[in-house]
């Protein structure tokens, strides 16, 4: 299951530095706008302590964590919706992601140029949000113009549904309200799904601070961002991209010791990865054995056959049953034998809704 989170923001807010840290890659991170011209895609490992337990229990030949993609997208400037800067290219790239991480500069540094002349995180957020709203509004208005007459004359059910959803979207966007704040029915969401509206995507604000404020966990700028995000139905992660890029160069043991010395429980990157994973509605199930222990990503609410299909389409097509053990039961009881003897090993059918932490063996026949 390939899911993507896109990193956006004004130029020089720390997007590429953050991306470098996330993917441990060394892409260009220069102190001028548009240092990142094409989207850079990196695969991110989701930290999961459960894998370590399973690895120690089964001693497999290989252990494969679950992953998803982060895409670093070129910096946006005022007027992007009208093609300013790399606007049109930027907007086409961001339509392809599943969730948005908006990096907001929340630190002062005279040596790093701010494209708007001074640090003001709310102004920066609103510049980007207005451009995204205008980009979505253009699509909405164009589509309404094409189907309005057909909906009125033919009364076609699907066309009428689409028009109603688009009319609701236009009313919101005209009032400068992003579509993620609008209550659409499931049918309406399905009707407008193909347009990939940017403001309908879930959003996290990554407040980029200096090292001292990362330890404190906030500053005057981040408090303003948190207030804004609450009204926007979005969450905020406070982090220092520069410190995160230095942390990834350390060994795991050195990294833990460094964070402990600072009194920080989780690195900013880990918090961002967890938050993005949750934002996308993702959960994890496991397959285990001597050859491989592996974590698999699935969408919350998926049933067992669909999850089996993530491994191989034949597993879904010929699904019979799933042998399921809860990770918590295995951890508590210590091994498979104890789980079976306690009656905690379950046989689940086609209607079983998979749960985070399920350990599965799928029975199938094709």
pLDDT in tens, 25-59: 444 444 433 334 355 777 778 889 999 999 999 99
Model pLDDT, residue 136? 93
Return the closest-CA partner of residue 78 out of 138, 6, 135.
Answer: 135
- Statement: residue 117 has pLDDT above 80: no
Query: Do 268 and 240 form a contact (C-beta atoms < 8 A)?
Result: yes
* Tokens linked to 329: 């039961």
Confidence of residue 256 (pLDDT cuts 50, 70, 90): confident
253-262 long-range Cβ contacts below 8 angstroms, 24+ apart: 262/215
Q: Give, rounded to a whole angstrom, the gap between the first and last alpha carbons of the chain.
A: 22
Tell me which DSSP letter residue 290 carries: S
Q: Which residue has the tokens 């039961």?
A: 329
Model pLDDT, residue 84? 47
Model pLDDT, residue 295? 95
Q: How many CB atoms lie within 10 A of CB 110?
A: 6
Model pLDDT, residue 85? 44
Model pLDDT, residue 20? 81
Query: Do 192 and 144 form a contact (C-beta atoms < 8 A)?
Result: no
> pLDDT digits over 144-166, tens only?
999 999 988 988 899 999 999 99
Three-state DSSP class for residue 1: coil
Q: How many CB atoms lie within 10 A of CB 35?
A: 16
Cα 271 off chain centre by: 12
Of 160-174, 191-205, 267-281, 288-302, the range with the lowest mean pLDDT is: 267-281
Pairing of strands 203-208, 99-105: parallel
Model pLDDT, residue 39? 54
Model pLDDT, residue 33? 36
Q: Could you tell me the CA-to-CA distances from 55 to 43, 66, 286, 335 in Å, in that order?
A: 22, 14, 11, 12
Average pLDDT, the chain: 87
């Amino acid at each position: 299951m390939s899911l993507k989170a896109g990193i956006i923001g004004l130029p020089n807010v720390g997007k590429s530095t953050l991306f470098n840290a996330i993917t441990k890659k060394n892409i260009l991170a220069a102190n001028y706008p548009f240092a990142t011209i094409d989207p850079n895609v990196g695969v991110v490992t989701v930290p999961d302590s459960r894998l370590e337990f399973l690895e120690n229990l089964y001693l497999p030949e290989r252990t494969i964590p679950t992953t998803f993609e982060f895409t670093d997208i070129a910096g946006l400037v005022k007027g992007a919706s009208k093609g300013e800067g790399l606007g049109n290219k930027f907007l086409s790239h961001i339509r392809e992601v599943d969730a948005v991480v908006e990096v907001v500069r929340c630190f002062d540094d005279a040596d790093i140029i701010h494209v708007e002349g001074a640090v003001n995180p709310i102004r920066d957020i609103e510049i980007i949000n207005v451009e995204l709203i205008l980009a979505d509004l253009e699509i909405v208005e164009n589509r309404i113009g094409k189907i309005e007459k057909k909906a009125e004359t033919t009364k076609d059910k699907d066309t009428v549904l689409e028009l109603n959803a688009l009319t609701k979207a236009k009313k919101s966007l005209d009032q400068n309200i992003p579509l993620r704040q609008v209550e659409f029915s499931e049918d309406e969401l399905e009707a407008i799904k193909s347009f990939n509206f940017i403001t309908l995507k879930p959003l996290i604000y990554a407040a980029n601070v200096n090292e001292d404020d990362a330890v404190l966990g906030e500053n005057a700028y981040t408090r303003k961002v948190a207030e804004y995000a609450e009204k926007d139905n979005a969450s905020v992660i406070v982090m220092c991209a520069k410190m995160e890029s230095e942390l990834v160069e350390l060994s795991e043991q050195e990294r833990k010791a460094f964070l402990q010395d600072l009194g920080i429980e989780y690195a900013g990157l880990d918090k961002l990865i967890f938050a993005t994973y949750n934002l996308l509605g993702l959960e994890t199930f496991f397959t285990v054995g001597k050859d491989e222990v592996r974590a698999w990503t699935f969408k919350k609410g998926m049933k067992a056959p669909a999850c089996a299909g993530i491994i191989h389409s034949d597993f879904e097509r010929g699904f019979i049953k799933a042998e399921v053990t809860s990770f918590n039961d295995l951890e508590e009881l210590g091994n498979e034998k104890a789980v079976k003897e306690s009656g905690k090993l379950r046989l689940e059918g086609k209607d079983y809704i998979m749960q985070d932490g399920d350990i599965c063996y799928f029975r199938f026949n094709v």
